[in-house]
Amino acid sequence: MDLLEATLYTIKAMVIMDNDGNRILAKYYDKNVFPTAKEQKQYEKNLFQKTHRANASEIIMLDGLTVVYKSNVDLFFYVMGGKNENELILLSVLNCLFDTISLILKKNVEKRALLDNLDVVMLAFDEICDGGIILDADPASVQKRVDLRNDELPLGEQTVAQVFQSAKEQLKWSILK
């Protein structure tokens, strides 16, 4: 009898692709699953071929991974876990990712807006999942932590990205004076 050991490392990867199947953003957390970029791209191509006709949230098993995904306008969002992973946990991460991006982009979830805000979306990836461990599944709290436009925080409580954004704004205004 094969007993599964419980682990916090539930997420194998999170990927966002456009409607042509091109990777926009991807994070692979398990180095044993698709250790090279070539293998990742091949898997993504295969994944897109199997899922691009869906127009809602779905779940599939592909190459030993449980994949939950959602499409919106011209984007596809994927969250992958092991073959024995709880689909509801993966779905909560997918929903958090999508809803956080929706909050960041002010409900304009499409490729151009996503690319314009890619730095914030990358921060959202890191706030939701770190090394395969789920950190947060609440879109509002993730969005609050990655909001680069929030200037009211004291310097000690700002993220590195917020400090850089603030410095960039100050430099821009000092040059324009």
- Taking 60 as the threshold, does the pLDDT of residue 154 lie above it? no
The span from the CA of 125 to the CA of 127, in Å, is 6
Could you tell me how far CA 158 lies from the centroid of its own chain?
A: 21
What confidence tier does 34 reach under pLDDT thresholds 50, 70, 90?
confident
Domain residue limits, the chain: 11-146, 148-177
- Taking 90 as the threshold, does the pLDDT of residue 146 lie above it? no
> Taking Cα atoms as reference points, which of 93, 96, 68 lies closest to residue 80?
68
Q: Are 29 and 131 in contact (CB under 8 A)?
A: yes
At 85, is the secondary structure helix, strand, or coil? Answer: coil
Please tell me the predicted confidence (pLDDT) of residue 13: 93
Q: What are phi and psi of 134, to 5 degrees?
A: -75, 125
- Taking 90 as the threshold, does the pLDDT of residue 152 lie above it? no
Please tell me the predicted confidence (pLDDT) of residue 42: 93
CA 114 to each of CA 72, 74, 78, 87, 138: distance values in angstroms, whole numbers, following the listed order = 12, 11, 15, 26, 20
CA 1 to each of CA 4, 85, 172: distance values in angstroms, whole numbers, following the listed order = 10, 18, 64
Q: Are 104 and 143 in contact (CB under 8 A)?
A: yes
% the chain with pLDDT above 70: 85
- Domain 11-146, CATH number (from 3.30.450.60, 3.40.50.20, 1.10.1040.10, 3.40.630.30): 3.30.450.60
Please tell me the predicted confidence (pLDDT) of residue 153: 54
Please tell me the predicted confidence (pLDDT) of residue 1: 42
Query: For all residues of the chain together, what is the average pLDDT?
Result: 84
Neighbour-count burial of 15, counting CB atoms closer than 10 A to its CB (0-12 exposed, 13-18 middle, 19+ buried): buried
The answer for 131, left when phi > 0, alpha when psi is -120 to 50, beta otherwise, is: left
What confidence tier does 22 reach under pLDDT thresholds 50, 70, 90?
very high
| 52-105 tens-digit pLDDT | 887 666 888 988 899 999 988 889 999 999 988 889 999 999 999 999 999 988
Residue type, 111: K
The span from the CA of 174 to the CA of 85, in Å, is 52
The span from the CA of 85 to the CA of 10, in Å, is 7
The span from the CA of 92 to the CA of 79, in Å, is 10
